[in-house]
Amino acid sequence: MPGDQELFDAVLQADRDRVIAAVRAGVDGGTPVSSLLMDCMVPAMREIGDRFAAGELFIPEMLFAARAMQAGLDIVEPLLGDSDHGSLGRVAVGTVKGDMHDIGKNLVVMMLKGGGYRVTDLGVDCSLETYEAAVAEGSTVLCCSALLTSTMTYMKQVVGRFQKDPAVKVIVGGAPVTRAFAEDIGADGFAEHASEATRVVSACLAGSAPAR
């Protein structure tokens, strides 16, 4: 790995103070901030996501890693130029209208941040207007989460709203959501796990649409 091993390890071990120290040392030592993000923090978060998907890490560890990474991002982000960060794309993540579950959605937010994307966390109970506003602010991928069989149908409305806009992709996930359901409602993608969401977003932005 070309980046800073200490920063990579600190994120992986969810050690907030060490992340802050390693980022500061990197910045002070002249390492390009884009490299701190893309070569150290992003690979560490990818590793964390893979371990979670493999059942080796659990939600508490993911939450700690997210906090540690966020502390690093708070330093790095203001220093990033648009070309360093914005090039990967802007993604908005929200739990759909009527649904207040956010543990899974928060993991998706954190994995996408850890994947180097600019992420807008839309929170819970998101209406079409909320997603529209996110698109107006530059998001090109919308991630919808739902935990209730009674709210997952709202995803169809979100997909319908943006179907005619080729620049916007809508991808879906959450416990009751299946690939078949995603295909049924015409979503541009489906992710079973938070770490898979990063890959699906990346595929969407690259122009291939796995679930449609």
Partner 1 sequence: MSGEGDGAMERLYAERLARYTTAMRNGRPDMVPIRPFVAEFTARHAGFTCQEVTHDYDKAFEAARRCAVDFDWDAVVSNMVYVWTGLTQAMGLRYYGVPGIDVPPDVGFQYLEPGDDGAFMRADEYDELIADPTAFLYNVWLPRVSSEVMQPGEASSYRGNLALVKGAMAMMQYFGAFGTQNARLRCESGTVSAIAGIFKAPFDILADKLRGYVGLCMDMCEQPSKVLEACEALMPHLYHVAKTTADPLQQVPIGYWMHRGCVPFVSPDQFASHYWPTVRPIIEELWRHGHQTLFYAEGDWKHHLESFRELPDQSIVYHVDQADVFDVHERLGDKFCLSGGIPNFLLAHRPASEVRDFCKKVIDVVAADGGYIMDASAIMQHDTRGENLAAMTECTREYGVYSGGTSSPPATPIVAEGSLSAHGGSATRPGQCVEWAKKAASLPVLEGDADLVEEVWNNIDSLGNVFIWQWLLSF
107 binds ligand B1M (CB under 6 A): yes
Select from 60, 78, 166, 207 the one that contacts partner 1 (CB under 8 A).
60
Select from 5, 17, 54, 59 the one that contacts partner 1 (CB under 8 A).
59
State the Cα–Cα distance between residues 142 and 158, nearest whole angstrom.
9
6 binds partner 1 (CB under 8 A): no
State the Cα–Cα distance between residues 177 and 173, nearest whole angstrom.
6
Contact 23, 76 (CB under 8 A): yes
From ligand B1M, partner 1, none, interface partner of 64 (C-beta below 5 to 8 A by class)? partner 1
121 binds ligand B1M (CB under 6 A): no
Binding segment (CB under 8 A) for partner 1, from list 57-65, 114-122, 135-143, 202-210: 57-65
The backbone torsions φ and ψ at residue 138, rounded to the nearest 5 degrees and listed phi first, read 110, 0
Of 102, 114, 186, 116, residue with least CA distance to 145: 102
From ligand B1M, partner 1, none, interface partner of 197 (C-beta below 5 to 8 A by class)? ligand B1M
Task: For the segment 62-91, give every residue that binds partner 1 (CB under 8 A).
Answer: 63-64
Task: For the segment 159-188, give every residue that binds ligand B1M (CB under 6 A).
Answer: 171-176
State the number of CA atoms in the 13 A half-sphere of 84 facing the CB.
14
**What is the chain's percent helix, strand, coil content, to nearest 5?**
55, 15, 30
Report in angstroms the alpha-carbon separations of 53 from 71, 191, 196. Answer: 24, 12, 8
**Which residue's CB is nearer to ligand B1M, number 84 or number 99?**
99
**Which residue's CB is nearer to ligand B1M, number 36 or number 201?**
201
145 binds ligand B1M (CB under 6 A): yes
State the Cα–Cα distance between residues 51 and 36, nearest whole angstrom.
22
Task: For the segment 5-44, give every residue that binds ligand B1M (CB under 6 A).
Answer: none
∠ CA 104-72-64 to the nearest 5 degrees?
40
Q: Applying CB under 6 A, which residues contact ligand B1M?
A: 59, 98-105, 107-108, 143-145, 147-149, 171-176, 191, 193-194, 197
Q: Applying CB under 8 A, which residues contact partner 1?
A: 52, 55, 58-61, 63-64, 98, 100, 103, 148-150, 152-153, 175-176, 178, 181
